[in-house]
A and B are shown apart, each in its own frame.
Chain A
Amino acid sequence: MYAKREFVNLMRLLLLVAISFAVTGCGRNQRMDRLYAERCLGCHGSFGRGDGPVTVSLPARLPDFRETVQRKSTGQIRRIISEGRGIMPGFDPALRPAEITDMVEMVRFLSREGRDVSWWEKYDTLVVAHCSVPWDLFLGYDDAPEEKRVEKP
């Protein structure tokens, strides 16, 4: 009898968590904004439209996230941010996986602004809701993984 009540309570708890995810979603946070401002804004601009201050010195036009990101999978965006493309630096040597995830999410947020989102993107918030979980508390966001540490020459 007691076990059943515990199970029901657990289910209620899970429902509550699911609702809180649905309401809060994976909103933009200050960490994402800081990373974006420090590492991306110079070229991609405040709204990801490819009009940052550095672009005046670039020979080619940079993509507008609203036009390009929609067609890319999260894995593809992650690879571009991690490994770089063209003269865009690859951030993998410097950033932790959680920080690269933040950048991927930021790019996705900016790509949705001011355009009609596809039906599946409306559920994207739920799909990626796990980013609202404070993983860094469990996984050590501030500790650099062993392989990322500096290799002394």
Chain B
Amino acid sequence: MLRNLKFRLGRTLFLLPFMALATLNHGFSHEPTNSKKISGPQRREVRIPIRDFRLIDQNGRSFDFKTVRDKVVVLAFAYTTCPDVCPLTTAAMRQIQMGFDRIERSSVYFITVTTDPEVDNPKVLAVYAKRYGVDLSDWAFVTGEEVVLRGIWKNFGVQVVRKARGLVDHTSLTAVIDRTGTMRFAYYGTAPDPKVVIEDVRSLLAHRSNS
């Protein structure tokens, strides 16, 4: 009798999680919602000095911003598992890279700085770059210690808020930095128009040629 009671009790306990799950099942009537709004691109002319930084690139090698000081730099903030603006930003950067001829390319450098160092290690960044067909001869995807990245984000005025693993809210910024290390153009919101960025970069390249 006692054994039977134990069995029944055990059976009830075993079924409890399934019953609870059945209660949690919501059927098909509801829909997930996302109130996130994506603002259109905004271009601003700025003059913000950018400090040198040292991070790790997609090959696991040290990347020193000083080494590209003699070039005009197009730099964007993104992370690999970003579900909204970052893929567009990286695709736009790729278009910008392809928009320059060989001579111009020798004077321009591209950098993507992660906003999610927790997930974006060099290996993950390398896979990401490969998926976009990026020419890595003049483009570095960089990551590093969060404390170092925080200083860089702050320098560029980028706010980063971690929401979950692989999910980060951050200021969507693509920046053009001149050869003196000063940020001259900032594009906020959705991915920048590649044609506009190319023209802005060319204006900085021409400035050097004329001077």
Residues of chain A touching chain B, judged by Cβ–Cβ distance below 8 Å, are 6, 9, 13, 16-17, 20-21, 23-25, 27-30, 33-34, 36-43, 46-47, 52-54, 57-58, 84, 87-91, 93-95, 109, 113, 132-134, 137, 144, 150-153
Q: Which residues of A contact B81 (CB under 8 A)?
A: 39, 89-91, 93-94
Given contacts A37-B32, A42-B83, A94-B167, whether A28 and B14 have CB atoms under 8 Å apart is: no
B191 proximity list for chain A (CB < 8 A): 57
User: Is B30 a contact of A53 with CB atoms below 8 Å?
Assistant: no
Give the interface of B toward A (CB within 8 A). 7, 11, 14-15, 17-19, 21-22, 24-28, 30-34, 36-38, 56, 60, 80-88, 90-91, 117-124, 127-128, 131-132, 143-145, 163-167, 190-191
Is the CB–CB distance between B36 and A53 below 8 Å? yes
Do the beta carbons of A84 and B26 come within 8 Å of each other?
Answer: no
**Is B18 a contact partner of A94 (Cβ separation < 8 A)?**
no
Give complex CA distance A28, B131 in Å.
Answer: 31
Bound CA span A36–B19, Å: 24
Given A57-B88, A144-B165, A150-B118, answer yes or no on A89-B22 (Cβ-Cβ < 8 Å). no
Q: Check B34–A38 contact: CB distance below 8 A.
A: yes
- A28, A57, A151: the one within 8 Å of B190 (CB): A57
Minimum CB distance partner of A113 in chain B: B28
Task: Decide if B26 touches A30 in the complex (CB within 8 Å).
Answer: yes
For A57, what are the chain B residues with a Cβ–Cβ distance below 8 Å?
Answer: 38, 88, 190-191
Q: How far is the CB of B83 from chain A (nearest CB, A)?
A: 5
User: CB distance B131 to A84 under 8 Å?
Assistant: yes
6 residue pairs bridging A and B, Cβ less than 8 Å apart: A13-B11, A17-B15, A24-B21, A38-B83, A89-B81, A91-B166
Contact yes or no, B144 A153, CB < 8 A: yes
Question: How far, in Å, is B19 (CB) from chain A's closest CB?
Answer: 7
A44 to chain B, nearest CB (A): 10
